[in-house]
Amino acid sequence: MAQAFFGGVHPNDMKAATNEKAIEQLAAPAEVVIPMSMHIGAPCKPIVAVGDKVTIGQKIGEPGGFVSAPIHASVSGTVKAVEPRPFSMGGTMMSVVIENDFQNTVCPDIHPVDDPDSLTPEQLVEIVKNAGIVGQGGATFPTHVKISSGLGKVDYVIINAAECEPYITGDHRTMLERPEQVIKGATLLAKCFGVEHVYIGVEANKQNAADVLNKTIDELKAPVVVEVLHTRYPQGAEKQLCQAISGRQVPSGKLPADAGCCIFNLNTTCAIYKAVYTGMPVVSKVVTVSGSGVIEPKNLECPIGTPITALFDACGGLKDETYKLIMGGPMMGLAQYNLDVTVGKGTGAMLAFAGDEEQYEENPQCIRCGKCVGVCPMRLEPVFMYKYLMKGDVDTWQNTLHGMDCIECGACAYTCPARLPLTHAFRMGKQKVNNARMAAKAKAEAEKAAAEKKEA
């Protein structure tokens, strides 16, 4: 039975513009720009050169470490460039630019598994790894690492279909249009982890999707249970979803696996299905294109590396008064400053705003109302976290106020009547902590190298 988690907010879901629109296949562009970092961890190393011919599904990026995932060509054609290009996370990223030959030639190495039912957990992990599957809800954590680290520890497997961010409807449409992929992917995970059931968490505002999934479960006699959850943001956050479905709370500084749970995004589950049943790695993504600045909002499936301008063009373009573009949802997405960025594995939406959705305060002042404390799903105290960060006291923010536990959901900033840039401040706080850790590590390594050189 669905549980409740602490805090959260109830923003208008703004999904009406696209939740009844079927996923459309976007024609592949004349050129795709595929960044070598679409996952948490070290970027991939390009293994193709200018002038090389590539095919759909061919590996073009070699993982840079264990916590990494290979990258594949999303169109067939010729490698036009291997160089830094504008990146959705800011700055530039080494990218492979492919000129599309429009032949749609599939890599000859692509083939389905002969007997999916006979797969061992180790074999499934290897397939997932080679397919370059990552968390497609936006976190982009390599899925093979999540599976392998959870084997033998996890007794609760959960599929995240909450899709609690406003505007985004790609998961909703996937459940309605491709339920067999969802259920068969979930069944593979059930067998892999050796659990009796896999649970799919669906918010109540997507009841029709839950009904379709239940019908498919009955037809396939699958070991899958659909849990209909209260509609509340951030229901889709891992720790909150874990509590909502299993009733277990993830300890501070720990992961869901430490509470015996493993959580996979809905489209990640579909990617696992495709890797096993068709052999195709991650080469496309379903993206919701919406917002007050979009003339005709749609759900589009496009090749990885498609320019965001192509998405907006397919939706009739942008209104003249458009002032802001966000990759992802309005609560956790990132504003884009460059129209040359492209779709990655974690891109769930491209939003454009032309109305009065966003209102700035030039010099915001906290009024000590405490609303941010009441809505924080991690039971943190944003009002004090912000105060200490503004004073430059990162140690107190990190060690006393547990700032690193912030999941950056934006609930505090959403509810703040003073419009304090709370989430932005906490992201900067995390960056300062991480920078300090890397500096300390580099210093220790330099001292060790110097000592070894002296001894030699």
Amino acid at 209: A
Name the burial class of residue 267, with classes exposed (0-12), middle (13-18) and buried (19+) by CB atoms within 10 angstroms of its CB.
buried
User: Binding site annotation covers 192?
Assistant: no
> Of 60, 99, 94, whose CA–CA distance to 76 is shortest?
99
Contact 434, 397 (CB under 8 A): no
**Where do we find the tokens 């589950």?**
269
> Of 12, 3, 9, 2, whose CA–CA distance to 290 is shortest?
12
- Give the Cα separation of 436 and 444 in Å (integer): 12
User: Binding site annotation covers 412?
Assistant: yes
> Of 294, 206, 293, 299, whose CA–CA distance to 18 is shortest?
299
Could you tell me how far CA 23 lies from the centroid of its own chain? 19
Hey, what's the torsion of the CAs at 293, 294, 300, 304, to 10 degrees?
Answer: -50
User: Binding site annotation covers 270?
Assistant: no
| Helix (H) / strand (E) containing 36 | none
- Give the Cα separation of 212 and 15 in Å (integer): 19
User: Binding site annotation covers 262?
Assistant: no
| Helix (H) / strand (E) containing 296 | none
User: Binding site annotation covers 406?
Assistant: yes
- Give the Cα separation of 92 and 43 in Å (integer): 12
3-state SS class at 173: helix
Contact 235, 164 (CB under 8 A): yes
- Give the Cα separation of 368 and 390 in Å (integer): 15
- Give the Cα separation of 67 and 145 in Å (integer): 7
User: Binding site annotation covers 416?
Assistant: yes
Interaxial angle between packed helices 170-177 and 207-220, expressed in degrees from 0 to 180 and rounded to the nearest 10: 40
User: Binding site annotation covers 302?
Assistant: no
* Binding positions for [4Fe-4S] cluster: 366, 369, 372, 376, 406, 409, 412, 416
* Binding positions: 366, 369, 372, 376, 406, 409, 412, 416
